[in-house]
Chain A
């Protein structure tokens, strides 16, 4: 990759059901902590499945200082973690050169539920628009550059990171805060419950006994800069985004393409952009929802893309730890890739005991290895697929 195109991931911040900062998130991943519990924040008694990755109490929340919208509060909590880790330095010299690119599957739909339930405050209605939380984050950050909301369903967090990289590479912004979020709410629980996608068992990605997913909530953000700017400014990096791509399946409104066509196109395109061959990929942070269809299709694509090395590249899914955090998921999984390099450990796939395929699935406990170059794959409703190629620093 040409040096001017290289985009550095400077810092990260998260809020998840298993940890409300990057350190506690990582610690929970490698110790196999589950964030799944009975949902308490809204009524679920009439639903078939009543569990999910719910954040019970936001640790950094201070009354009156953050917006009323929960989605915005999650984003701001993640941004607080990100800024603390970035060392307190300003994001850019000029606030007009700071971009905010955020992905979401649900936006402020919970606010829409409240507005339709009789809350007539205009602010509630405005917050129901899916682009509201990204604007709240930009306001909180003092960012005055582009504010983009993308919604490629559960691939949104990867799409946002890729788009932010393109804003930087094309000089539209000098730094970008990018990532994703989503909130567990009755709307989405009712929807997935109706689809019968939720399991009454544990989430078991890539296990032959897997029977579905559980939803979760969270927010994850990364701070990105062009590498040559970062070098000039000095300071550390978590890693680099080497390549990214997206592709549509064009096959079904909610199910993935049975041959994984879109995911394969996106993965190969991301590898091409990164200038990375299959023999260089050392870790895969998979989408791995635990649904029968997703995991079968994804493992078949990984076998095709990785070729002869498919049984030697560690693959993991973190969705049994956190639940499927939808818009946040792909960003959390990208951060996992970079943390694996930093800590020299790959987290295991929780609840995986009987692997269905012959990929090198990391199971039963974390594995000691230091993957420099990683692939993160994501799929979503509407045939959305995205892939990221990351390098640890």
Chain B
């Protein structure tokens, strides 16, 4: 059986917060040159404030900030609320800091333990925006984000939701010494990022394949990496956002990702450009 050809979802909006700044426009042309030898490009300072977030981990706040950025294009918050919005989250690293703080005792209390779970990040987003629809969390490098995008396509095609918010967060700063020990596994520069892509049903063709090559070549690779740097699951979402932002016509691209011998390809071919006509109403 050949992989099913799903309708390619429409990319409604993208929001990005990264070590380079806010938005896609903050990305340098070449991340490696812009890093000038720095191993980690961290996101500085608080990104979201509020009493509800007083115990939330930094990765949770970045996730909320990325979704807020997505809404900057004029989408009302209410659009996301309810059980017709799916929330699909991908990460490789955004539990490392909270796990480490708990293990080493810096944040080893009952208040902090729930934040050690990878599910804490999308949970804060779901709570903040009232999202109660289909909910899956994928762990891994860039292929995990491609799996999340594909799964969003299946949910939209099956009418299991009306829109899908695909989210990725990667943080490195608190574990920079560990990543330095694991240089053979990860690329440089490691760039902290949180990116959200809002998808709705569209026309065209979406196909997905993933296979293990068995080759012990580069551990991590993804489209989007040239401008963003190494940001694992964030890479393909940024590439999708860049393609949407720079192209006037229908999207026609292959998003690729590799991680520890697994290579994934998501072919995204829109039949017609639909996003610019999108109007939102909360009525």
Q: Give A residues with C-beta under 8 Å from B.
A: 96, 105, 107, 109, 112-113, 115-116, 120, 122, 125-126, 129-131, 135, 138, 143-153, 159, 163, 166, 169-172, 174, 187, 190-192, 194-196, 226, 229, 245-254, 261-262, 265, 269, 380-385
| B279 neighbours in A (Cβ, 8 Å) | none
Residue of B nearest to A195 (CB): B110
Given contacts A171-B1, A253-B127, 13 further A-B contacts (CB under 8 A): A122-B182, A125-B185, A130-B139, A131-B260, A144-B214, A145-B211, A172-B150, A190-B108, A194-B108, A194-B110, A265-B83, A381-B119, A385-B135
B196 within 8 A of A: no
Shortest beta-carbon distance from B190 to chain A in Å? 14
**Contact between A116 and B104, CB atoms less than 8 A apart:** yes
Q: Mark B77-119, 1 if CB is under 8 A from A, else 0.
A: 0000001000100001001100110111000111001111111
B54 within 8 A of A: no
- Taken together as a complex, chains A and B put the C-alpha atoms of A126 and B260 apart, in Å, by 10
Interface of A is mostly: mixed
A131-B92, A135-B261 are contacts. A171–B4 as well, Cβ < 8 Å?
A: yes
**Contact between B154 and A166, CB atoms less than 8 A apart:** yes
A144-B212, A172-B209, A248-B131 are contacts. A253–B115 as well, Cβ < 8 Å?
A: yes
What is the count of residue pairs linking A and B with beta-carbon distances less than 8 angstroms? 190
| A381 neighbours in B (Cβ, 8 Å) | 114, 117, 119-120, 123
Residue of A nearest to B178 (CB): A125
**Contact between A163 and B151, CB atoms less than 8 A apart:** yes
- Taken together as a complex, chains A and B put the C-alpha atoms of A195 and B160 apart, in Å, by 35
In this complex, which of A109, A129, A159, A245 has the most chain B Cβ atoms within 10 angstroms of its Cβ?
A129
- Taken together as a complex, chains A and B put the C-alpha atoms of A248 and B4 apart, in Å, by 27
| A191 neighbours in B (Cβ, 8 Å) | 102, 113, 116
**Contact between A151 and B1, CB atoms less than 8 A apart:** no
| B143 neighbours in A (Cβ, 8 Å) | 146
| B100 neighbours in A (Cβ, 8 Å) | 112, 116
**Contact between B140 and A146, CB atoms less than 8 A apart:** no
Q: Mark B138-151, 1 if CB is under 8 A from A, else 0.
A: 11100110010011
- Taken together as a complex, chains A and B put the C-alpha atoms of A233 and B104 apart, in Å, by 52
| A196 neighbours in B (Cβ, 8 Å) | 110
**Contact between B95 and A130, CB atoms less than 8 A apart:** yes
In this complex, which of B2, B114, B214, B261 has the most chain A Cβ atoms within 10 angstroms of its Cβ?
B114
A112-B100, A151-B137 are contacts. A171–B116 as well, Cβ < 8 Å?
A: no
Shortest beta-carbon distance from B209 to chain A in Å? 7
**Contact between B2 and A171, CB atoms less than 8 A apart:** yes
**Contact between B92 and A252, CB atoms less than 8 A apart:** no
B208 within 8 A of A: yes
A145-B210, A191-B102, A250-B130 are contacts. A245–B139 as well, Cβ < 8 Å?
A: no
